[in-house]
Chain A
Amino acid sequence: MSDTGTYLYAVARDEVAACPPGVADADVRTIVRGGLVAYVSSVPMERFGEEPLRRSLEDMDWLAGTARAHHRVVDAVAAATATAPVRLVTVYDGDEQVSDLLERRAGDFAEVLAQVTGRREWGVKAFVDPASEERPDERSGRDGCEQAGKPGKPGTAYLQRRRANLRGREQNRRQALARAEHIHAALATVAVASRRHRPQDPRLSGRADWMLLNGAYLVDEGRVAEFAGLAEELGGGGIEVTVTGPWAPYSFTVMETR
């Protein structure tokens, strides 16, 4: 095995004019074959070999830096032309293997690129504000207290209040989930394709409120305003909807592994 490998970022039909540096600050170059363009850079195998990589992946700074560098390249290409992003850290022995790949999988890449042409990925997240979620609980708690309202039976009142709280919380949860289903279904009618990512852990999202929906939507460029408008309308009533994008079509470039 040689000292360097060929890191593959994305495949497109066109060469873009300028590309930012890639992972490990390396220059990005292209490999052209059969009407397809692969965006690659050379990476040192002492960092990107299997064993070093296994260790590196446990290093958050390394993962963050690599993810951002990968994204910078993919994003620059995707901003200019229809692009099939490749999974983070895909490393080949050399350029020849990438060239072979373009030829061998030309049909699959063509299919993926056709699916994303003239379309961009948008992310939509829905959050329920814990404060608005708690309010009904407190209300039912107070009611329970008044009904039980006899001094001297604080234990009974407490239990009733607690039961009402739990019931209320469960009900809120069900309602919020139903709302998320509705939001996703409505957005999917405007999108060409849609996909739900796992809701982010509050420790990662940096928000205390509960993420109900973490969706990705492939939207025709001509329908972006309609999509954004709909996303905005679907919020409200204690549910906050945020939109991110446009993204390179990361969530919609699934190719069968072969």
Chain B
Amino acid sequence: MTDWPARGVSADEIILSDRLPAERVSLVDLLDRLLAGGVVLSGDIILSIADIDLVCISLRTVLASADTLEDA
């Protein structure tokens, strides 16, 4: 495994640099937010990830894949 996912930036770096490019955002940090955050909608929706217990599925998937994941 490479150093995936990258560690966060330090407070110094934040003030100096602007923002992390989307490509450099750690996948795990991203999934924390995408799977537990954002507006959850229902109604006319064909499908929402909330319908399929995504958090369970993805965590299982992510854990299972963590060893084989080289880069993200």
A125 contacts partner chain B, Cβ-Cβ < 8 Å: yes
Contact residue among A49, A64, A246, A252 (Cβ-Cβ distance under 8 Å from B19): A246
Q: Which residues of B contact A104 (CB under 8 A)?
A: 43
Chain A stretch 192-236: residues in CB contact (< 8 A) with chain B: 197-198, 200-201, 203-207, 214, 216, 224-225, 228-229, 231-232
Chain A contact surface mostly: mixed
CA–CA, A203 to B9, complex, Å? 20
Whether the pair A11, B39 counts as a contact (CB closer than 8 A) is yes
Partner of B43, one of A5, A207, A242, A258: A258
Given A87-B50, A123-B29, check contact A60 B61 (CB 8 Å): yes
- Is A88 on the interface with B (CB-CB < 8 A)? yes
For A58, give the chain B residue with the smallest CB separation: B61
Given A63-B58, A200-B32, A232-B11, A92 and B39 contact (CB-CB distance below 8 Å):
no
Closest to B18 in A: A246
**In the bound complex, do residue B37 and residue A206 qualify as a contact, i.e. CB atoms below 8 Å apart?**
no
Chain A residue at minimum C-beta to C-beta distance from B52 = A54
Q: Does A97 belong to the interface (CB within 8 Å)? A: yes
Task: List chain A residues, Cβ under 8 A from B11.
Answer: 228-229, 231-232, 241, 243
Q: Determine whether the beta carbon of A50 is less than 8 Å from that of B62.
A: no
> CB within 8 Å of A: which of B1-54?
1, 3-5, 7-12, 14-15, 19-20, 22-23, 25-52, 54
Residue A131 lies at the interface, judged by CB distance under 8 Å to chain B: no
**CA of A50 to CA of B50, assembled, Å:** 12
Checking B4, B5, B39, B69 against A255 with a beta-carbon cut-off of 8 angstroms, the contacting residue is: B39
Chain B residues near A246: list those with CB within 8 A.
Answer: 19
Distance of A59 Cα from B29 Cα, bound (Å)? 18
Question: With A11-B39, A60-B69, A87-B41 in contact, do A79 and B27 touch (Cβ < 8 Å)?
Answer: no
Choose among B9, B37, B49 the residue with the greatest number of A CB atoms under 10 Å from its CB: B37
A72 at the interface (CB under 8 A from B): yes
**Chain A residues, Cβ within 8 Å of B50:** 87, 257
Selected A-B contacts with CB under 8 Å, 26 pairs: A45-B46, A50-B52, A53-B52, A58-B61, A64-B72, A68-B22, A87-B40, A87-B41, A88-B34, A89-B47, A90-B49, A123-B29, A201-B66, A204-B63, A205-B28, A206-B4, A224-B14, A228-B11, A229-B11, A241-B11, A242-B10, A250-B38, A251-B33, A251-B36, A252-B37, A254-B40
List the 5 closest A-B pairs by CB distance, nearest first. Answer: A242-B8, A250-B37, A60-B65, A250-B33, A232-B11
Since A68-B22, A198-B32, A253-B37 are in contact, a sample of 17 more A-B pairs with Cβ atoms closer than 8 Å, ordered by chain A residue number, is A48-B47, A49-B47, A68-B27, A72-B22, A79-B19, A87-B39, A87-B48, A87-B49, A88-B54, A91-B45, A101-B41, A121-B33, A201-B63, A203-B63, A204-B66, A251-B37, A257-B40
Interface residues of A (CB under 8 A from B): 1, 5, 8, 11, 45, 48-50, 53-54, 57-60, 63-64, 67-68, 70-72, 75, 79, 84-93, 97, 100-101, 104-105, 109, 112, 121, 123, 125, 197-198, 200-201, 203-207, 214, 216, 224-225, 228-229, 231-232, 241-247, 250-255, 257-258
